[in-house]
Structure 1
Amino acid sequence: MQHIPTRTVRTSTAAFQRTAALTLIAAAVLSACGGGGGDPGAVPAASGSGGTGGTGGTVTTPVATDTKVSLVMVDGSGNTVTSLSGGQAGTLKATVLTPAGKPAAGAIVQFATTTQGLVSFTPETGSALTDANGVAVVTIKPASYTVSGAAAVSATSVVEGKTGSASVNMAIGAAPLTVGTLAFVEPPKASLPAFSTLALNIPVSSAGKPATESTGLALSSLCVGDGTATLVPSGMSNGVQVATYTNNGCTRGRDLITASIGNSSQTIALDVSAANIGAVQFSGASLTGTSIVLKGSGGQGRSESAQLTFRVVDQQGKGLAGVDVDFSTTTSIGGLAVSPARATTDASGNVSTMVSSGTIPTPVRVLASASRNGATITGLSDTLIVSTGLPIQRAMSMSAEHYNVEGGNVDGTRVKITVRMADQYGNPVSDGTAVNFVTEGGAVGTPAQGGCVTDGDGCTVELVTQNFRPADGRVTVLAYAQGIENFVDLNGDGQYSCTNYVDASGKVPAVYRPLVDTCVSGGEPFPVPGDDMGDPFLDTQGDGVYNALAGDRPFPYGHASYTAAGDGKWGLNYLRSSIEVVFSGSYARITELCRNGACANTVYTAGATIPVPGAAGASCAPQQLAVRLTDDNNNPLPFGTTVSVVSANKLSVAGVSPAVLTSTRSSGGTVHQFTVTPDASCAPGDFSLQTKTPTGKITEFKFTAN
């Protein structure tokens, strides 16, 4: 009779019972077969035992050979449940037994559902390990508060290569979210000021219990719809969603806020304040760089006037229409004027005026003042959209690319002159700040602007060598710009303060406005008396003292005659800085010769023959030489001039230092050292010391040793 194999045991109780019954039947059949043999797994009887067929063997009962899994879902109290709704969560518990019927510890159980988007697991992978009792646990909940339907959830585990699984069916019910009564965290005592924020609590529940999320929450308000407020949700805790309300200058007076989820909604009212004038911004000019030329000098693309545009904005940066703006200039020197003196902003808050040049070169700014609700705001013209601090005297500096240029005998050598400025806070001044230059010799500036306007922290022009050339070859360059005088900030508020002041009409305004109102007395002091600045002047002597007979000239011509003293009041003035650049000659002289530390002030010109005692003949020895090189005005040779030894004969010369002239304006030229080493036989010899300027001008001096 054929062997009947044992069937795989199913995981359910009924399947297990059916498998056991089949196993017993198979065993009975095998027993009845007799001579077919005994238990397939039994050891055959020994020869001569007397057993025949299968009658002498021992019959055994097959055992279950599959992993067994059982699955239930329980609530927080441990009660078995078959449904979930809204934010409710359940616990899936799978019990796993080995094929031998013992608890399977450390086995992986994978939980899954065939209905996607209906439920979610924690952990998200839906997998867990069994404990010592063979139990694995995961959390299950509806995927959202609004989903509904039915789902089959399964648990599968593989133990000792055998797979077992079980499943349960469950119902998922929708439990929509509901919005509760709205409340502010700290209700304002009055209207919420413009650009202030407020926290709003929004209770959210599901089936009467605090929700854990606010899916579908919509927030709106009248002012948000106008674009003058924002309402942004943030964190959620204990069923309360928090949102931040910001008043960006709503003009309604009262806003109505609405929070809704689906058909559930709540509203709350909030008083809000509108914005006042926030700033008067300079928008730009009709000309690139806002550069205009002197009156009567227009033409060929140059203009004697420029249109300046300002924008009046509220505290949120939006343009204000219908605001009257008054214009004035920081100087009227030479007939400079602004027209119209008053204009009204358009629908975007823009307003314009024209500035026309006078007959004297000067930087100028236009002051625009606007008033609303008893407050006056001012702005100064600039090439930036938003004005920044004015330059202050103590932060103005001036430098040259190098200070000794080949210009005593050469036209067209160019050297860059840079001016840098900062405001009282140490920040770079805004782009477009105008700087004027005048020079004692050569030409300075650009054909387009004469001076320059700042870009970044400063601006640069070129000084070009040409006539006029001062007799001493030393050229003073003066830069001046309009800014504020130094002051001591006693109260530390970052601006000039005054206790006794009046406005242009003689009335006392509520608050002192620097540069707008007149400080009668009680103003903050100057650091030193000289900070109350008089007129700037071109200091041709470099001694800091004005001397018209010596060629000093005041700039700009703000008074009938030069005024050294200030006016005793802090305010706008002409900031100034000057440097001296040497127009160096191209040909060298030696004005001092040193040998082994002993120096003589002997002048040698080009082609001179200079003896070097001790470098030849009896007892010859190395000689340490130094020469002082100057041009014809006793100034240093040009920057970049090389000093070298050529045509050495029977003598070796090394270590010419410095070999290249650096930037210097020191009177008396530069000193260069080198060592002369005799021939091994102390034979007579010679060499030439050569200077060569950047334009190729050469001077040579012959040194001889006899």
Structure 2
Amino acid sequence: MRLTTPAHIFKLLLISSSLHLYGCGDTADGPSYQPDSPPNEASSSATLASASSAQSNGSASSVSSVAPTVIDPTNDQSIIAEISASALTLPPRTPTEIRISFKNNYDEAVNIPSTPSASSNCITANNASVTFSELNGPEVTATYEARTGCIGDDRVTFSGDWNGAAYTIELTLNIEKDPFSNIEWLSTEPAQISIRGSGGQESATITFALRGYNGENIVGEQVSFQIDGAAGGASLSENTGVSDENGEVSVRVRAGTAPSNVIVLATYTPTGETTPSSNLVVASGIAIEGNVTLATSAYNPLGFARIGTQSVTLTVNATDRSGNPVPDGTSVNFISEEGGNIMPNCTLSSGSCFVTFSPNGLQPANGKIQIFAAIKGGEGFIDNNGNKIFDDGDTFTPEIHEMGEPYSDNNNNGQYDLGEHFADTNNDGSRTEGNNLWSGPNCKHSTLCDSSDDFIDLGVQMMLILSDGRSPTLCNPGDFAAASFNVTSEGNLSLGGLYLSDGNANASSDSIACPLGNPLPVGTAITFKAGNGKIIGNASWTIVDTYLPTGPYNVTYKAPEATGLDVLTLEITPPLSPTYFYQWDINVVL
């Protein structure tokens, strides 16, 4: 039987069709309607909320819902959609097949004009997907599969267009949580931190993850933390945490005041399963007096009255009381006020950093300059109880451990002279001597703490010699003092005791053989040559980096068979300089 409906009532039905409609169609309440009004009087849309007629946790069972969906404006009939799924409750990563079919109110299959689209919270978060099969008559088939991160109810909405009328139909799926399998350590960042109060990075983040049997993330579960290896007072930021959407849970570890290896134990609260982290090393403390060193790639570069000739690399190294590198990022400042160009600072990495020094044409007359470096740190003491903190029971001897504000001893007299550079730690405009109190961070002594200084400046210096390559000098000729020598035919002549310098008469030397002069520049080549005779043994040397004039140089001359005059020549070739010659006559006689 076909029922007709007046046109104004049809319009009302079209408006009502934009609401959630349930139970219309072939039901016990009466027959369905079929409008006879023109289809273009109003557009129509409907939303179908699924109601399951059967439900099972088994993946092989089916669930379905039936409801009117849309008024087909082309054929003047209502379209009924039926949606079913192979299972509403799904284990993790388990697909389910969803079928949507369409019938008219006479229960006749109607070909669907286009494939609908699917959306849900999990799909939007890229944690689930719906794949449609090729459109086939009155039915569309889709495969829904949840991925990692989709847990609990996921309301899936299918939306489409039926000859210009929009429709939606919904189905709620429940994705089960993956059963807990294990807790695993993921990372410790960074793997090494600095002792508390050192100024470096003093905390680290340790991250664990909860995983299920299917590899899913276990979300929203509690994990408890316990620290193992808390020497020096290492501590945790919290004792519990809850796993996030990635199944991850983190805890921060704060360093103590002594070196140690720290392990964090993470326990999954519901089962008590425990996993340790990797070792977190608490190693770096502040630099202390006596543990800062300065080195150079060469003591005696070619630099006197030169600009930009031989540059050298100056490297500073600083360790804490345990001999561990001080924290990365610690800055070291450099001063070379007597001459040369030097980079003003460098930043420590693994306890070391370097700067470059280049001659700039300025230097004292003796060619000797002081390089001064300063770094923040603390004074030394004898740690009698081994806790790396200066407290009662430790020994602080001012004559040994306290140096006052460090300075550059330019004249090498072992004391500060007015005008020499100093590190003005307290910023009072004058160099301050020690106050018989220990200065540095984390001081716990009851009577010997200097409350005004958490950090002090520690100084270290070294001397560079700007050697002159223009005047190689036999500062001590030894056996070479004579102008000529006699030797028999095919005989040997041994000469030795020769010392060389750069000829700087303003430079005093600690060398007993040569009280005046600096060494020739590093890399200077020294060679003995003979005219007709031969040199037996070593005849060539290269000057290495040194503070002193070099020698002794020894040579053995082998005379030729023929008699007559021969010449022994000493060639000296400084870097970037011409070769200089010294010669001696050799009379070869019978």
TM-score (ref. length: structure 1): 0.40
Name which one, 1 or 2, has greater alpha-carbon Rg: 1
Give the structure-2-normalised TM-score: 0.47
Greater RCO (Cα-Cα under 8 Å, separation 6 or more): 2
